[in-house]
Chains A and B, each alone.
Chain A
Amino acid sequence: MNLTRTGLVGVVIVIAVIFQVAVFNLFSVNGVVPNLALIVVVAASIARGPQFGATVGFIAGLLLDLAPPADHVAGRWALALVLVAVLAGRVRSDARRSPIAGLATVAVCSFIATSVFALSGVVLGDHALPAGEMMQVVGIALLWDIVCAPLLLPGLMALFERTRSSELAY
């Protein structure tokens, strides 16, 4: 039972990463797609707290860093998503008060995650774009995540709520 629950969380993460890469490029705006992994991490963090959220964030981020088309230095998305999970965990009591608050959390997290990723690229000299282009990407990504969050956040939160982390097999 424990393993099934853990497996379910893992499957959700894998689906998010795969869809981001293989399906959502249909709808991409200038190549920017909804960051499904980010929404999963924020949902996990709001539902179960920063510890669980950060674990999900680390795994999802590492998967984004290593899954096929990725060519950047590994660990950059992992860092961005762990930080975002901590933030979402901090405000979880407020984020659950109303759907709007949850949406705002996703928006702030999207901005921070993409920015952290972009800045880490600038620091490492890894696929860095001019600041103007980067801000544009951050902006489009933010809009995408706001559009997708209302569709996904409630379901994901309900899912994570039911998987108590004491039942999870780490």
Chain B
Amino acid sequence: MGNVKGPSLGRPVTDDDGRTRFGSERGGSSRVVVGLLVAASLTVITVDAASGDRSPIDPARSAVGNVLGPIESSTATATRPFRETMAYFSSNGDLRDDVARLSAQNSQLRSEVEQTPLDRNRLAELDGLTTTANQTGYALVAARVVGMGPMQSFSRTVTIDAGASSGIRPDMTVLNNDGLVGRVLSTTRTTANVLLILDTDSVVGGRLGSNMEIGFLRGRGVTGNRGRLDLDLVDHSVTPAKGDVVVTWGSQNGVPYVAGIPIGTVESVFSTPRELAKHAVIDPYVDFTSLDVVGVVVPKKTAGDRLVINGLAAKTGGAR
């Protein structure tokens, strides 16, 4: 054990029992083990992929979640001061950009004020929509994002630090200050997995603010500055206007999405020669790269180990 201090680079290859050249003597058993492990992986994939919603893997998934979830929460909490320092530095440049962008926007808006009467109608409609979103008074449970799935897994999911013990169930709407974030996929006792609306598997019913047309929003699976959603309208003859606001359309009993939550604005509209329908690209309001505090929409009577915010503040805000 003379060279414990350094890495073993440069030492001759020895196998588990000190024999040289792997594969000569132990190759057979090694191959068996490797073969078994590959077969085991393929079995798990097959079992999980073939059995759809009720997978035999689910108990294992929730068991691992119950153990690792709290560890993730505490790790995220422990690194939060560091995280906030990092956010300070990274947001500084962003804020500079914002100042430049906003001053440009300001001068543009000043010239547009002249044309106000023209836009007043539309503004009233939009305002009405946003206030309904404020006034609906959903009960919310606040939670923090503690884990984000790596992009290498190609799915856009996050873990939040509130779970079944706070009254959170699968298929509940998740939102934050800016707009719709996603929906709850599964819960463990203290954590919940949230599918972001950016994920390719996510479909949200959306409604255009200006003409109340409905459509479906699909995620592109990309976060960052290029995180966008595709909107396909049900009525093919309608062309969405650029800058139009899209809100959730809502479904029965608010499962999985409650109505009237702002999603984003129409960034561009395009159509392909093959089909009649127009496709709109939606720029979401929520910044998915810096998700932190989110709210989960729960039934009003929910009792759990966390405070349920009953939307009173939102009501006074909307009453003006």
Contact = CB atoms under 8 A, between A and B. Distances in A.
B22 A31 contact: no
Interface in B266-298: 289
Interface string A106-142: 0000000010011011001011110001100100110
A69 to B, nearest CB: 4
A68 B152 contact: no
Interface in B54-81: 55, 57, 60-61, 64-65, 68-69, 71-72, 75-76, 79
Contacts of A75: 41-48
- Tell which of A61, A74, A129, A164 has the most Cβ of chain B within 10 Å: A74
B299 interface: no
B17 interface: yes
Contacts of B193: 68-69, 71
Given A19-B75, A22-B147, A51-B30, A78 B41 contact: yes
A21 interface: yes
A31 B8 contact: no
Interface residues of A, number: 85
B222 A71 contact: no
B159 A69 contact: yes
A18 B152 contact: no
A27 B271 CA distance: 37
Given A49-B30, A69-B148, A71-B193, A155 B13 contact: no
A60 B28 CA distance: 24
Nearest to A102: B9
Nearest to B85: A26
Contacts of A17: 68
B102 interface: no
A99 interface: yes
Interface residues of B, number: 75
Interface in A59-110: 61-79, 82-83, 85-86, 89, 92-93, 96-99, 102
A32 B13 CA distance: 34
Given A66-B60, A129-B221, A114 B152 contact: yes
Contacts of A20: 150
A1 to B, nearest CB: 16
Nearest to B191: A68
B152 to A, nearest CB: 5
Nearest to A159: B7
Nearest to A161: B8
Contacts of A22: 72, 75-76, 79, 146-147, 159
A31 B151 contact: yes
A30 B150 CA distance: 10
Contacts of B157: 69-71
B153 A77 contact: yes
B159 A50 contact: no
25 contacts: A22-B147, A25-B147, A26-B82, A29-B224, A30-B226, A48-B16, A50-B22, A54-B37, A68-B147, A68-B188, A69-B149, A71-B155, A74-B57, A74-B61, A75-B47, A75-B48, A78-B41, A82-B38, A89-B22, A97-B10, A114-B152, A117-B153, A124-B45, A127-B201, A158-B8
Interface of B: 4, 6-11, 13, 15-17, 21-22, 26, 29-30, 33-34, 37-38, 40-49, 55, 57, 60-61, 64-65, 68-69, 71-72, 75-76, 79, 82-83, 86, 146-159, 185, 188, 191, 193, 195, 199-201, 220-224, 226, 289
